[in-house]
Amino acid sequence: MQRSPQEARPESRTPPSDPSTTRTPAWAAADRSGKIRNFSGHHFPQLPGLLHNREAAEPVGGLQEYYYELCMEKSQEIKPFILHILQEVDEEIEKGLAGITLNVAGNCHLMPVERVTGEDFWILCRILKNNPYINGLDVRYNLIGDVGASYATELLQKQHNLIYLNLMFNDIGPEGGELIAKALHKNTTLKHLRMTGNKIENKGGMFFAAMLQINSSLEKLDLGDCDLGMQSVIAFATVLTQNQTIKGLNLNRPILYGEQEESTVHLGHMLKENQCLVELHVCKHDIKNCGMKQLCDALYLNRSLRYLDVSCNKITQDGMVCLADVLKKNTTLEVIDLSFNRIENAGANYLSDTLASHNRTLKAHIQS
């Protein structure tokens, strides 16, 4: 039987701020510094020590003690990896730090790691519930599944300090995606959500698109490699003609069929209307020259987009002619990723001539 938070939780000093944590997650850091940090720019410092002993040591208080008690209550295995992280978090809290992102990533190579399961995630959610010191949680590359997604919804509903949540590559499917999307209807605090690699498919994508019609606080959403379909990509493009909050969106590698580039047409229309989006990732969208022209036409009117990822598409030198022309007038765009397209030497020359004569601030990534 679960105890209420008031009964189960000891008088803890303050919640975590671990060395395997980041003081301020992604977009929050950008708000303070004025600089844009892209989806791949989230780094975590190394843990200063390794836990080699597989036996869980007796906790000494704070978050460790709460974790230990919850594991005993649920007859759950105590994982040394988690206990070690919470120990370091407690130490950081003793120093008076707050605004902590708890990093329990399953791909950590600094110590022996056991993947977090759905039931482990329930315990983490209990630890974070109503915790004023932790505002971010990173559980990427674990195995929480749809069961863990249901616990994440409770966290989003009850943890009013959480601004960053990383659930990437956690075996979450369409049902789990639906639960999380619906939980964000009423959530007003989360700023950045990463769902990369969870196969929520077109069904889950539609729920997230619908959520953006209601939610007015989320600023970055990462749905790359989630097997989105044409319908959901078009739905995102449609919703973002009205949503004025989202600043970063990752729609990489959807499952698209057909040769008409319908989704790119809608994304181009969205960029003409939306003057708030700063970062857009449309890698592996089968964008050809016609689609690139749609995006370039939009860039004549758009004055907010600073980062555009069109890597791994089918753009050739003809598409570079359109891009080179628009870059003579659009100086807002700061980075464009053209890697793994088919622009060849001629396309690269069109682009370099424009950058040399009209736009020396743009950074173009070209790799083949």
pLDDT at position 44 over 50? no
What's residue 5's pLDDT? 43
- Per-residue confidence at 111, pLDDT binned at 50, 70, 90? confident
Domain hosting residue 152, numbered range: 98-358
Nearest of 253, 222, 64 to residue 140 by alpha carbon: 222
Q: Is residue 15 part of a domain?
A: no
3-state secondary structure string, 165-197?
A: EECCCCCCCHHHHHHHHHHCCCCCCCCEEECCC
Per residue in 191-216, pLDDT tens? 999 999 999 999 999 999 999 999 99
| Residue whose entry in the numeric block shows the structure tokens 């105590």 | 78
**What is the rounded distance in angstroms from the CA atom of residue 215 to the CA atom of residue 184?**
7
Per-residue pLDDT, averaged over 51-67, amounts to 58
Q: Is residue 85 part of a domain?
A: no
pLDDT at position 282 over 90? yes
Q: Is residue 141 part of a domain?
A: yes
- CB hemisphere CA count around 350 (13 angstroms): 16
Per residue in 288-317, pLDDT tens? 999 999 999 999 999 999 999 999 999 999
CA angle 46, 93, 40 (to 5 degrees): 40
pLDDT at position 2 over 60? no
Q: Is residue 65 part of a domain?
A: no
Q: Is residue 311 part of a domain?
A: yes
Least confident of 7-16, 20-29, 45-54, 102-111: 45-54
Q: Is residue 306 part of a domain?
A: yes
The pairing of strands 164-166 and 192-194 is parallel
pTM confidence score:
0.83
Beta bridge partners of 336: 308, 364
What's residue 124's pLDDT? 95
If one counts the domains in the chain, the total is 1
What value does the CA radius of gyration of the chain take, rounded to a whole number of Å? 22
Q: Say which DSSP state 298 is in.
A: H
Q: Is residue 25 part of a domain?
A: no
pLDDT at position 40 over 70? no
- Higher local confidence (pLDDT), 39 or 308: 308
pLDDT at position 7 over 70? no
pLDDT above 70 as % of the chain: 83
- CB hemisphere CA count around 2 (13 angstroms): 6
What's residue 263's pLDDT? 95
What's residue 27's pLDDT? 36
What's residue 13's pLDDT? 41
Q: Is residue 258 part of a domain?
A: yes
**What is the rounded distance in angstroms from the CA atom of residue 88 to the CA atom of residue 81?**
11
Mean residue pLDDT of the chain comes to: 85
Which CATH number is 216's domain given?
3.80.10.10
